[in-house]
Chains A and B, each alone.
Chain A
Amino acid sequence: MLLLIQYTLIFSAVLILVALGGMFSERSGIINLGLEGIMVFGAMAGAMVMVLLPADASRPTIIILTLLAAAAAGMLSSLLIAVACINFKADQTLIGTALNMLATASATVIVKGFNTARSGGTDFSAKLDYVRGHNAFMFTIGKLQLSWFIVVAAILLVCAIIFFYKTKLALRIRACGEHPQAADSVGINVYAMRYIGVLMSGFLGGLGGIIYICAANSTWHFDYGVAGAGFLALAVMIFGQWKPERIAWSAVLFALFRSLSNVYMGIGFLHALPISGTVYNMFPYIVSLIVLAFTSQNSRAPKAEGIPYDKGAR
């Protein structure tokens, strides 16, 4: 049971951050299907930092540098979406999909190249091993083993809620996702707001990526991508009706189901059931499909999302 809570917390952290990222992007008017790819880039950068840091690096150094690297990589990769979708009015669905493929392919190439170079030509795998970095994030309260990642996610969640409802910038971003012409007519730079929205999704998505690969593992095969976690986050976002506090609750719900596949063996009655472990893997996807079926009918997505803004056309 303890394990279940542990996993639920860490997966919630992932889903909250990534779904909030998706939310800021969509609120600004850009559908971000590339969250998955952003997560991969963030995860790769974070894992690289953990591998590369010298053995005597202090814990805070590891934590801060890892998070910074992941966030920066996420933001850089989100620029690929921003440039194509905002400046060049590309199909947002296509670009998101392309970014996902690009991320997995380049992570594989880069990590393989990295391993080959480090091992002097003996290790050709796309696997990174970051036990030491992974452990630096762990701390325990009683019997509960927790990660600094959860703390970071909690802080960011609070910041996001305050930002979303209380600041000038968020008001402007939201206006751009609903009625960009109105925003433009009062002198708001729609392109800039959308860039900010997409970059925020890069920041949060990148962090989500590193947390995801550290959640249950201390090694990761980068040719796997992040196994649809980015899309689960999108489902969380829709379920959360594009509002930060609701996203937090739905993330916890989804995380619970996601955790079952990791811990069902430890839970007596679940383990006793005559179903294969693979079925539990399917669980979060089936649940999100069903949940979406019941919530999509009345969902109110930002009105202008998915529509490129053309300054010339009023």
Chain B
Amino acid sequence: MEKTSFFKRPAVQTLLASILCAVLGIIIGYIILLFMNAEHAGEGMAAILTNFFKYRIASQTTLMKYMGSFLVKSVPVILCAEAILFAYKAGLFNIGVAGQYTVGIIASLYTSLALGWNWFLCLIAAIVAGAVWGLIAGFFKAYCNVNEVIAGIMLNWIGLYICNIILGLPSCMNQSKSETYDIKDVNPAGLLPAFMREFFGKNEYMTIAIPITVIVAIVILVVLNKTTFGYELKATGHNKEAAKYSGMNAKRNIILTLVISGAIAGMAAGLYYLTGIEHFKIASSVPGMGFNGIAVAFLGGLHPIGAIIAGLFVEYITLGGQYLNTNYYNPQVADLMISIIIYLCGFVLFFRTILNRPGKVTVNANAEPATNTTDNKDKEKEV
């Protein structure tokens, strides 16, 4: 067995490709800033990149407090990415994560605000809601052959409208502010337990959501790589027909995958909204969290731990948008940068072939002339 050189290792290549995407995205973002207002572009980019670290001058505590909020806000996008990459490994593009996240919001907020449940039950409700939404998509895919992307999109919108109806009820929505009530005021037991609040400058939103996110990522990593279930899922993702041939239950796996993926997405919503950091407002478009999750999943090289790093990066850029001087720019520039980064993620394959140039492994199913001749060389020794 040869030792593969450092730059030929798939993990290193994925990392390099992702960094390349991120850097290119930032450069293009800078060019956009230049177009919008050339004079202040440098300043604007600096604001995005410095971000909340500008508070380091004010005080350590303030900085840590902002750091805490940054971590809390990264939780849902990381978990959505985990949900997407989990399904993707099984060959399913779960664009319905956005909708599963939305019904997760419904379940967590309704149970905590209207029903006054304890945080644990609220979180379970969110997970179940997401799982049910995933189940519907899975059912349509497995039994009716409906493309999961289209079904997912339809369910996203249905989820959004249901969300508007339920969370618009007087028991959840503060009609005067047209946003949901504070869980803190209505049902303090509905809030997630604290986690390292002192360390993060007494940030009241620091909860167990953060360690749970890390644990989920590790569990996914283990499930995918060490278990028979992960073996089945990846086999199905790589080659559905071979999975069927080997006796795996494709329908069951499709449904199970989407249920788990949905459950993670629902959990993402629960772990975010049950910190109390965010209120739900009546929306006319599906929350972008699920779509940002796609960006994060691909930027993280479809690796559960990579998704954590990519999630922090994407959230950092999004937050950075808010530090832009609104006299010259609007904060959506950050969204634009993120969408450019996802677009660039499509070129990862190409970036990797560039890295692979000398002495490549052919990734080509039809390379018969090549492979057969190697076979003959083997024969030669044999004869």
Contacts and interface: CB of A to CB of B under 8 A. Distances in A.
B15 interface: no
Interface string B131-170: 0000000001000111101110111111001101100000
Interface stretch (A183-191, A201-209, A292-300): A292-300
Interface residues of B, number: 50
A136 B366 CA distance: 56
B336 A105 contact: yes
A97 B349 CA distance: 17
B79 to A, nearest CB: 18
Contacts of B162: 282
Interface string A280-307: 0110011011001110110100000000
Interface stretch (A11-19, A137-145, A146-154, A219-227): A219-227
A108 interface: yes
A269 interface: no
A292 B332 contact: no
Contact of A113 (B36, B140, B161, B164): B36
A33 B149 CA distance: 9
B342 A105 contact: no
Contacts of A85: 346
Contacts of A223: 285, 332
A310 B332 contact: no
Give chain B's interface secondary structure class: helix
B345 interface: yes
B145 A109 contact: no
A293 B146 contact: yes
Interface string A85-125: 10011110111011111101110110011001000010010
Interface string A160-191: 00000000000000000000000000000000
Contact of A310 (B93, B144, B336, B364): B364
Contacts of B156: 228
A112 B350 CA distance: 34
Given A101-B335, A102-B336, A289 B284 contact: no
A314 B345 CA distance: 27
A23 B348 CA distance: 27
Contact of A281 (B150, B161, B349, B366): B161
Contacts of B330: 108-109, 112-113, 116, 124
Interface stretch (A2-10, A60-68, A230-238, A244-252): A230-238
Contacts of A297: 144-145
A278 interface: yes
Nearest to A181: B366
Contacts of B140: 289, 292-293
Given A289-B151, A289-B155, A88 B349 contact: yes
Given A285-B157, A292-B140, A88 B336 contact: no
B32 A109 contact: yes
B349 A89 contact: yes
A299 B150 CA distance: 14
A288 B154 CA distance: 8
B48 interface: no
B367 interface: yes
A200 to B, nearest CB: 21
Contact of B154 (A99, A113, A289): A289
B343 A102 contact: yes
Interface size class of A (residues with CB under 8 A): 35 or more
Given A113-B36, A228-B157, A296-B146, A101 B333 contact: no
B346 A90 contact: yes
A256 B24 CA distance: 45
A106 B336 contact: yes
A51 interface: no
A281 B157 CA distance: 9
A289 B291 CA distance: 20
A52 interface: no
Contact of B291 (A97, A276, A281, A313): A97
Interface in B327-372: 327, 330, 332-333, 335-336, 338-340, 342-343, 345-347, 349-350, 364-367
Contacts of B147: 238, 292, 296
B144 A293 contact: yes
Question: Among the interface residues B161, B285, B342, which one has the most CB atoms of the partner chain A within 10 A?
Answer: B161
A296 to B, nearest CB: 4
Given A108-B332, A124-B326, A223-B332, A98 B365 contact: no
A292 B144 contact: yes
A102 B332 contact: no
Interface of A: 33, 80, 84-85, 88-91, 93-95, 97-102, 104-106, 108-109, 112-113, 116, 121, 124, 126, 221, 223-225, 227-228, 231, 234-235, 238, 276, 278-279, 281-282, 285-286, 288-289, 292-294, 296-297, 299, 310, 312-314
Given A95-B343, A234-B150, 19 more contacts: A84-B346, A88-B350, A94-B342, A97-B95, A97-B291, A101-B339, A102-B342, A105-B338, A106-B339, A112-B332, A113-B36, A228-B156, A228-B157, A238-B150, A276-B165, A282-B157, A285-B154, A292-B146, A292-B150
Closest 10 A/B residue pairs (Cβ): A90-B346, A101-B339, A98-B343, A102-B339, A105-B335, A293-B144, A105-B336, A313-B366, A98-B342, A231-B153
Interface of B: 32, 36, 93, 95, 140, 144-147, 149-151, 153-158, 161-162, 164-165, 284-285, 288, 291, 294-295, 298, 326-327, 330, 332-333, 335-336, 338-340, 342-343, 345-347, 349-350, 364-367
13 contacts: A90-B346, A97-B294, A102-B339, A102-B342, A104-B335, A109-B32, A109-B333, A109-B336, A112-B330, A238-B150, A292-B146, A292-B151, A293-B140
